[in-house]
Amino acid sequence: MEASVEQLVYVREDEYTIARMSAEGMPGFVASGRALGGVQPGETLRLIGGWGEHPRHGRRFEVTACERLVPATVRAIRIYLGSGLIRGIGPRLAHAIVSHFGETTLTVIDTEPERLTEVVNIGPARQAQIADAWQEQKAIAELMVTLQGFGISPLLAARIYQVFGAESGDILTCDPYRLIGKVRGIAFATADRIALRSGVSESSPQRIKAAILDRLETAAGRDGHCYVRLVALVTQSAELVEQDHDLVRRALDALVADRRVVVEVSPDDRGQAVVYLKETHSRELTLTAQLTRLIQATSTLPMRAFQEDPGLDEDQRAAVNMALTSTVSIITGGPGCGKSHTVRTIAATAKAMGGSVTLTAPTGKAAKRLSELTGMPAMTVHRMLAHQPDPDSGALFEQTPAQADLIVVDEASMLDLHLATRLTAVIPVGSHLLIVGDSDQLPSIAPGSVLADLLRVEEIARIRLTRVFRQAEGSGIIRAAHRIRAGEVPPTPGGGGFWFEEVDDPEQVAERVMHLATVAIPRKQGVSPDQVQVLCPMRRGLTGTAEIGRMIQERLNPAREGVAEHWSGASVFRVGDRVMPIRNNYDKGVFNGDTGTVTAITPEERLVEIRTDDGQIVKYGFGELDELTHTYAISVHRSQGSEYPFVVAPLVTESGGVMLRRKLLYTLITRARSWVVVVGERKALETAVQRLGHRRNTGLARRLALSLGTVLTGD
């Protein structure tokens, strides 16, 4: 049958879709199936399938195949144009356009777009916007057809077009390997399938080079490695493309000649050859040079006598003296050990001595928390860097936060190689850099392990605070965290802020987590559900962020009749949703880890409006929504630097429990301020405590030790 898509009801990550449809003589019915993956409201489809009966939801058309059609009837054209698929046209304007042009409407828009000005309220600017949007939608539709021909999800078409624009079709058919790493959802396997079906040889140097780069980028993105051992890289790449090692070595040599990768001998790996992506290698060298410059500089911080805080213990007093006398220093330690009070004292003392101070952290929430704990303004590292003037602008460097005599970077376990390189580049010689963090927390999401690497370099001044202060001793969260850090399973079910609830079935775990977060804890504690954060070790599966987040969204912010919503892939955006950028966007002024609320969805403009927690209004196009994630349930990694009144977390061995690690569990526990409730299998809890995880492959510590003429600790 031929039918129009009225509304998407449900979209799963494997593209299984449920949609409300309408057809001639059938004003409303439900269709479902994976063949509907990627369809949008307003589209006209030819459906192939049969009627079935769902045990809970009744009669529906089960689709086995579908084909996109150009809407032919006046009604179908009106639905199509009024759906928001074409930017600049909403329901009212769609009615006016179709009333004027009738069944020729789409032909006019395609071949004579200048005639749109015949319609009331369409001037030259709106006409040009509609014409451009029509061509964009046509290009995306063509990409969808091409992708389906390769057996690839049509959902990727809009993402490809967002990145490559008018070049998308040529890249897809001539050089699909360029899509890897540029388009979310396209890894080597997807690009390779397109390439092979397009006639690329299995032994093509282009294909083997792409496989090598993919293995390096996967090691960086998945495991945080800066390099891969050459022998391992050759083996992994050969297995990926099922080709001889000799072919891979020749392709690797070509990449070295093209300066896309660097091969060097690493003392850290007992003299083995290792391979870096060129950009990563350059950053390691640059960061080493910049840190050496800062460490060896003569301090410019005014030194005057200062009165010691009698409330500090011996280690804290030593930390204050260290930060005020060493140009680069580190304070580390677990929760409740007085890091924040020590930093507050250091900052206040530096100011009292006539120095200037800048407090920073990698994320907005971490910066806000630092400000609350110290009573001083704090900003994200990204915002500090955004204050840097253009070298050619003539702006005074003294006007920037990085010119301060003392720069404090809190939550430094989150510092990745790229951010640390940018940070140290703007700090002037003689300023003091104080790095504060808990080395037992998870490392950064991006490649590198900066805090851990710096702690291995003996020349760098550091103090670990170990004493748990009396006011923190009564916290069950802090007691549990220190037990986990020591490799001991905390007492269960627990108490005083930490609680473990044993449930073995993953589906029941998800249901219980959702109930605790939306009903039980808010009711018992007298708080809104916004005060409860769900943290998940994994993204996929029954207890992952995607599924539990969807369940909580449907409980707290379900679809409402007549209220606009927009599906982007398997995520639906609604007014009132809490969201978080997952990429830095300097043009919009938002950064990874900021949070905000969806305040408006405008289908005719294809825009979602966000109000960030600091009051900034930001607009995202429908094609940019993969830069946002909902915060109903987030990964433990994305929670770093944040603190929540109440935390609920699933912990299961689903999918082998590959993410269960001590640092992950420790980070999860320490995100809660009042209570953390962990729901799941006791075996999963024990596994997480026992597994240490891997050390990231980085060369920073060794390079820095050589540069400073010192030795490494912890080898």
Non-local CB neighbours of 434 within 8 Å, separated by 6+ positions: 323, 329, 330, 331, 343, 346, 406, 407, 408, 409
Annotated binding site for ATP: 336-340
Give every CB contact of residue 392 below 8 A, 6+ residues apart in sequence: none
Place of tokens 């916004």: 530
> CA 192, 194, 199, 205 torsion: positive or negative?
negative
* pLDDT at residue 62 is higher than 50: yes
Query: b/e per residue, 368-390, with b = 16+ CB within 10 A?
Result: bbbbebbebebbbbbebbeebee
CA distance 163 to 179: 9
The whole-number pLDDT of residue 79 equals 85
pLDDT above 50 for 396 = no
Q: What is the mean pLDDT of residues 218-233?
A: 94
Which of 194-203, 505-514, 656-665, 703-712 is most confident? Answer: 505-514
Predicted pLDDT at 571? 93
In whole angstroms, give the CA distance from residue 63 to residue 47.
Answer: 6
Predicted confidence (pLDDT) at residue 359 exceeds the cutoff of 90: yes
Work out the pLDDT band at 390, boundaries 50, 70, 90: very low
Work out the percent of the chain whose per-residue pLDDT is above 90.
Answer: 64
pLDDT in tens, 517-572: 999 999 999 999 999 999 999 988 999 999 999 999 999 999 998 888 999 888 99
Q: If you search the block for the tokens 């144009």, which residue do you land on? A: 81
Distance CA 238, CA 249 (A): 9
Closest CA to 326 of 348, 360, 295, 354: 295
In this prediction, residue 583 has a pLDDT band, given cuts at 50, 70 and 90, of: confident
Where is average pLDDT lowest: 104-108, 179-183, 631-635? 179-183
Average pLDDT across the chain, whole number:
90
- As a whole number, mean pLDDT of residues 283-302 equals 95
Residue 227 and residue 699: Cα distance in Å, rounded? 8
For residue 608, give both structure tokens.
Answer: 């979602």
pLDDT attached to residue 392: 44
User: For the chain, how many residues are written?
Assistant: 715
Q: What is the mean pLDDT of residues 40-57?
A: 90
Q: What is the mean pLDDT of residues 112-140?
A: 91
Residue whose C-alpha is closest to residue 308's, from 361, 335, 345: 345
**C-alpha closest to that of 294 among 330, 327, 323, 326:** 327
C-alpha to C-alpha distances, 29 to 3, 23, 44, 257, 538, nearest whole angstrom: 10, 9, 14, 60, 36
Strand, helix or coil at 596? strand
Give bridge partners of residue 601 from the DSSP assignment: 608
pLDDT computed for residue 452 by the predictor: 95
Residue 509 in this model has a pLDDT that exceeds 60: yes
Q: How far apart are CA 358 and CA 365, in angstroms?
A: 16
pLDDT category of residue 365 using cuts at 50, 70 and 90:
confident
> What is the chain's Cα-based Rg?
28
- Res 647: pLDDT: 98
Binding-site annotation, residues = 336-340
